[in-house]
Amino acid sequence: MSLHADVWAAPVLAGAVLALGAYVVAVLDVAAAGLVAGTGSRRVLAQPVRNVALLIRQEPTLTERPDRASWVLAPALYAGLAAAGISVVPWSRTFSIADVDTGIVLWGSIEALVVVALFLHGWSANSHQPLLAAYRFVAVGLSYLLLSMFVLIAAAIPAESLQLSRIVESQAGLWNVVRQPLGLPLFAVAALGSTTWGPLNLAAGDDLSGGTTADVSGLPLLVWLGARAAMLTAFAAMGTAVFLGGWHGPLLPDPLWVVLKTVALLAALVASGHLVARVRAERFVTWCWMVLLPLGFADLALAGLQALR
Amino acid sequence: MAVTLLTRLAAAAPVPVFVARGGGAGMVPAELHADTRLRLVTSARHATVLLAAGRFPAALGEALDRLHDQLAQPRRTVWWTPDASVERPACLEEGATVVTGSDPVGAVVAAHRAALTEPASADPPVLRDEPPNPFEGGGDHGQGGEGMMGGVPYGRPMAMTADDRDGLALDQLPVVFGPFLLGLPNGVQVRAVLQGGTLQGAQLEQLDLGDGPPLPGSETDRGGPCQHLRWVADALRLAGLDALGRRAAGLARSALTDRRACASLARAVRRSGLPATWSGIGVLDGEDASLRLERRLRFDEPADGIPLGRVAGSLPGQDWSDALVTVWSASAPDAVASAAQGRSG
């Protein structure tokens, strides 16, 4: 039996969790960059705050004849999808913001709509580099979305439910990361793809002058970057629930386990951005269809066989 | 009070600076990436300071003026040059801070803080906010071309359908990249015809870089680890490995031949998968981008660039990002400065 947040409190709670998550992502990013660069990790807590202040002080710029409505809608849609995603994640055995019966299905639809938000962001600037970034992102989108679908369905099989709290409960004896070892790595690929982060940063790379953000500055840039970090947080929280046993763990209170596991997963995802080179879109699609998707199918088949035993 | 706090926080942030490399700058500006007070950005929209390094005569100066006006307000300009008496574009006239020494970082940080704390003194635009050409010509809407496609409204070519490599009739979009883009040698711009993200044709143009003394430090561009480290620093930024690029820039700045540190960097680059990612891209003279990267990572062989004309010939059919890797991996900015204009497609 789970408690749900009040209909008015839910968006506030989801927004607060994601804002905090975005800050943690920024701190981890500064720390990881300092370690890899060998410049140390001083001012890791203050630097994200200073960067935010700078973006607030910077004036937004306009391109010639942009699709203004879409330019505003894209970051709002991205942030809204992250909020919807974090809402279905259970924080303890008694509390979720919205523990709907079909949480996994809702999450799948969120991942699909992320493609729309990112393409809209690249399209709406009416500028060639953002548009190229949008093309490049959409070209790889289907590949990693299918991966995610396979591994999420596999995780739902032992729980015999599409509800996230039931999936976490099913991991009381053994976490899915052990029971289905291919699941979490493949889900991480989907997380990096959907947030265009690290080696899958195909829509915001420096080879395209920042990709979909190439012509965005000031507050609109802050909102977009915040939404992207929030989505990474939502993915990490979902990965925690589905593969890392959610609230399960000794001694500490349930929500603390969820937070600790989410931050650990975030740290791994963020670090990958400083350690692994960006993939080439065409080669990634080939690799995805030839190697990763068969592995995803094997993960699903393994879960099915385990359920039949 | 709140505004003051916000301004103080913003002024203390690492300075987002766009570095435009002109004549005589060589690859010296790559070392700026090592300084944690700065954050080198690849879009002018993200910068508060435009750092113009070197000379900007004629067409390069016009491009710099256009770039300058794309920076968001509040903004400032710093001109890093050994000789401020040479020809300069409008954005480097009054208002720009001139640095003639070897270290512009202090001036960039001061310009950033001044832009935020004294917004009234921020750089005004230098160009009029109007299309470069009038809207005129044939076609249904006076744009030239056919129907609602093609033509050059306002002097800008519009997309027109043409067969792609698979025989499908898709839009072809003529665009110009550069001359201040990460991955392009100083003063080089690409006139490209794109179908989706694929290049159907490309011309590489070397704009005039002018004559005069080089920036301090550029003499080390030719030969020695420093040259390679600067090149590797930019290559890593291009590959999304910004932090590793900062490490390479730091080693370049130290100007010491710390072989162990260089070898450690090379191992980190190989572990990142970059050589594998670049394999098969831009094969020229029997070498692809991956092999050219590996040669750079040995830090001791002289590297000569491949003439732009031959590089341009290899670009059609490549994805734009691969094309950029091809151009950068085949470049040695001190060598290409004198190379002839090349075209293909």
Give chain B's domains with CATH numbers: 2-121 (3.40.50.12280), 154-206 (no CATH), 218-344 (no CATH)
pLDDT single digits (tens) A228-254: 999 999 999 999 999 999 999 999 999
Give strand pairing partners of A263: none
pLDDT at residue B343 in the model: 40
Question: Is pLDDT at B335 greater than 50 in this prediction?
Answer: no
Is-above-0.90 flag for pTM? yes
* Contact residues on chain B for A283, CB-CB shorter than 8 A: 277
A107 SS3 class: helix
Answer yes or no: do B197 and A32 touch at CB < 8 A.
no
Distance CA B330, CA B291 (A): 11
- Determine the pLDDT at residue A47: 94
- The residue of chain B with its CA nearest to that of A43 is B13
For the cut 70, the answer to whether the pLDDT of residue B138 exceeds it is no
CB A183, CB A155: distance < 8 Å: yes
Other beta carbons within 10 angstroms of residue B62's beta carbon come to 15
Q: How far is B165 from chain A (nearest CA, A)?
A: 16
Neighbouring CB atoms inside 10 A of B2's CB total 6
| Helix, strand, coil in percent for chain B, rounding step 5 | 40, 20, 45
Least confident of A184-193, A213-222, B76-85, B215-224: B215-224
* Other Cβ atoms within 10 Å of A218 Cβ, number: 19
Q: Give the closest of A57, A214, A274 to B43, CB-based.
A: A214
In chain B, residues with a C-beta closer than 8 Å to the C-beta of A273 are 240
Distances in Å between the Cα of B2 and the Cα atoms of A53, A56, A276, B193, B269 are: 11, 12, 40, 49, 44
Q: Is the pLDDT assigned to residue B40 strictly greater than 60?
A: yes
Spell out the residues 6+ positions from residue A2 whose beta carbon is closer than 8 angstroms to its own. Answer: A90, A93, A94, A95, A96, A99, A165
- Print the domain residue range for A176: 3-308
* Mean pLDDT, residues B205-231 taken together: 81
Whether residue B5 has pLDDT greater than 60? yes
Interface of B with A in 285-324 (CB under 8 A): 319-322, 324
Query: Given this model, what pLDDT does residue B318 score?
Result: 92
Q: Lowest-pLDDT range, A61-65, B35-39, B52-56? A: A61-65
Q: What is the largest CA-CA distance in chain B?
A: 66
Residue B256 has a CB neighbour count (10 Å cut-off) of: 12
What's the number of domains chain A is made of? Answer: 1
The stretch A141-156 carries a mean pLDDT of 92
Angle (deg, nearest 10), helices A128-159 and A218-243: 20
Q: How confident is the model at residue B225 (pLDDT cuts 50, 70, 90)?
A: confident
3-class SS of residue B147: coil
* Least confident residue range of A38-52, A107-121, A259-273, B118-132: B118-132
A198 CA to centre of own chain: 12
Least confident residue range of A112-121, A184-193, B143-152, B321-330 = B143-152
Q: How far apart are CA B38 and CA B113, in angstroms?
A: 12
Tens of pLDDT, residues B247-256:
999 998 886 6
Pairing of the two strands B188-195 and B198-206: antiparallel
Residue A155 pLDDT: 94
Q: Is the pLDDT of residue A132 over 80?
A: yes
Interface contact flag, A37 B73, Cβ < 8 Å: no
